[in-house]
Amino acid sequence: MTQMIIEGKSTDAASGREIDVVCPSDGQVFTTIPRGAAQDVDRAVKAARAALKGEWGALPAFERGRLLMKLSQKILAHHDELAEIEARDTGKPLTTARTDVTVLARYFEFYGGGADKVHGQTLPFLNGYSVQVVREPLGVTAHILPWNYPAQMFGRSVAPALAMGNAIVVKPAEDACLSVIRVAELALEVGFPAGALNIVTGLGEEAGAALARHPGINFISFTGSNEVGVMVQQAAALNAVKCTLELGGKSAHVVFEDADFERAAAAICRGIVQNTGQTCTAGSRVLVQKSAQDRFMKVLVAEFSKKTAGTPDMDLDCGPLINKTQFERVNGYVETGRKEGLSVVVEGQVADGVPPGGYFVRPMIFSAPRHESRLLTEEIFGPVLVTVPFETEAEAIELANATHYGLMAAVWSENGGRQQRVARAMEAGQVYINSFGAGGGVELPFGGVKRSGHGREKGFIAMEEMSTVKTIIHYHG
């Protein structure tokens, strides 16, 4: 049994209830987490408020920064342990889990360094006045996280909030949250005051909903599905608090006839298979210029056919999907693709010897004759790629923007003018040119447009999102 953390202490749910934690590689229960609910959320929010009024709220910015840096070092000192926890909980290959833990540490390092570098302004105003604009914490911030990258999402959402001096309550995903709890324990060990960082585990509709509508919070950072994001925004509106929504994606690669095919194919295959396609930025559509389709598809197929799913210990290209629901959802889309008459271009492998109860699927590429399939507009969240041809640059732009999502996009071409024109025309929060980093770049502002959400995380901009400005107007004559 793993406990959650409220007011600096490991604790069970007030109800005493628990949730089974299932290993995605074999479908077996291997531990439990507390099934926190409204009462536990209320305790955590009150503990956070008290921390703001106490030791945590009194710390100067550079000391907050030092604590974040210390946590970064502590995470690195526990690198193997955290990677093993993450791999078991999510099913991802050990190498991927190790990368995730490295990125988690990097978030605390980056924002630890940033804590004392957020400066205010002085403004010219009427004679006899001095005006200061100062940045202040929002107060108690709520962070609702998904299961696909628990460690990374924790660092991304929480580190800038702590750097700005907020006290926080995290509701990690019920399907994978063990690394988050362990990091919160390490935070206490390095000296974070009780109540500065609280973790309430539980179901989304119970603990998550209770946190989103709690009148004691001042901000919500939500990462997850579009459906739940909309509910969270409605809950935030009830208390008139700001929220950032990091939601789904259906990101497009646009491959022109003059692209470096080897480079493009390697990045495209890596991006869709990474984390078994359960990545919001998994470039899941490939638009290929018709004049180069045959040549490019040969390179893509050769690269993709090697991709293999296995257990974390096998450490292959990807692991199983997270749970039975996700397994059925991805297989459902594959079925839809076949029924719609899309052709299967190539399938990857599932390694011999994976346990029978695991949620493994074969990575797959479909090809569509035109941009008209549910597989081209809906987020599958599995290792399923769909390719579709285009003729002209204008058509490529139109098709790339032809979904409700707008998270990321990539342009593959050697023509400088075209790279800029297409990148500028993409409806997306991030655009890569001749490269693709699904989820990468702690320093790089990140977030969506359209139904992929709003607000920005990562980079310095996240510290602005997670703080507010106060204007002080001083008349001195």
Q: Which positions are annotated as active-site residues?
A: 246, 280
- 438 near ligand NAD (CB under 6 A): no
Chain residue at closest Cβ approach to ligand NAD: 204
Q: Which is nearer to ligand NAD, 212 or 431 (CB)?
A: 212
Burial pattern 373-388, b for ≥16 Cβ within 10 A else e, equals bebbebbbbbbbbbbb
Pick the binder of ligand NAD from 75, 212, 217, 316 (CB under 6 A): 212
- Single out the residue of 25, 90, 99, 148 in contact with ligand NAD (rule: CB under 6 A): 148
Q: Which is nearer to ligand NAD, 69 or 144 (CB)?
A: 144
Q: Whose structure tokens read 């070092």?
A: 73
Q: How far is the CB of 383 from ligand NAD (least distance, A)?
A: 14
Rounded Cα distance, 89 and 30, in Å: 9
Query: Contact with ligand NAD (CB under 6 A): which of 111, 359, 360, 381?
Result: 381
Tell me the Ramachandran region of residue 290: left when phi exceeds 0, alpha when psi lies from -120 to 50, beta otherwise: alpha
Q: Is residue 144 at the binding interface for ligand NAD, with CB under 6 A as the rule?
A: yes
Among 143, 171, 182, 214, contact with ligand NAD (rule: CB under 6 A): 171
Most distant pair of Cα atoms in the chain: their distance: 81
Binding status of residue 174 toward ligand NAD by CB under 6 A? yes
Instruction: Please answer whether residues 94 and 315 qualify as being in contact, where contact means their C-beta atoms are separated by less than 8 angstroms.
Output: yes
Q: Which residues contact 204 (CB under 8 A, 6 or more apart)?
A: 144, 171, 173, 174, 228
Min CB(326)–ligand NAD separation in Å: 8
The Cβ-side half-sphere exposure at 213, using a 13 Å CA radius, reads 14
Among 100, 109, 303, 379, binds ligand NAD (CB under 6 A): 379
Name the minimum Å distance from CB 29 to ligand NAD: 18
Of residues 194 and 426, the one with the C-beta less far from ligand NAD: 426
Which of these segments, 23-31, 203-211, 250-258, 341-349, binds ligand NAD (CB under 6 A)?
203-211
Q: What is the DSSP letter of 151?
A: H
| Closest approach of ligand NAD to the CB of residue 204, in Å | 2
Of the chain, the end-to-end C-alpha distance in Å amounts to 65
Give me 236's structure tokens. Answer: 């935030």
Phi–psi pair at 224, nearest 5 degrees = 170, -150
| One-letter-per-residue 3-state SS of 255-321 | ECCCCCHHHHHHHHHHHHHHHHHCCCCCCCEEEEEHHHHHHHHHHHHHHHCCCEECCCCCCCCECCC
- 80 binds ligand NAD, rule: CB under 6 A: no
Choice from 21, 97, 169, 173 touching ligand NAD (CB under 6 A): 173
Smallest gap from residue 66 Cβ to ligand NAD (A): 28
Does position 251 interact with ligand NAD (CB under 6 A)? The reply is no
Q: Are strands 29-34 and 18-22 parallel, antiparallel or unpaired?
A: antiparallel
Interaction of residue 204 with ligand NAD, rule CB under 6 A: yes
Asked if 232 is part of the footprint of ligand NAD (rule: CB under 6 A), the reply reads: yes
208 binds ligand NAD (CB under 6 A): yes
State whether residue 412 is helix, strand or coil: strand
What residues make contact with ligand NAD under the rule CB under 6 A? Answer: 144-148, 171, 173-174, 204-205, 208-209, 212, 223-225, 228, 231-232, 246-249, 280, 379, 381, 407, 448, 453
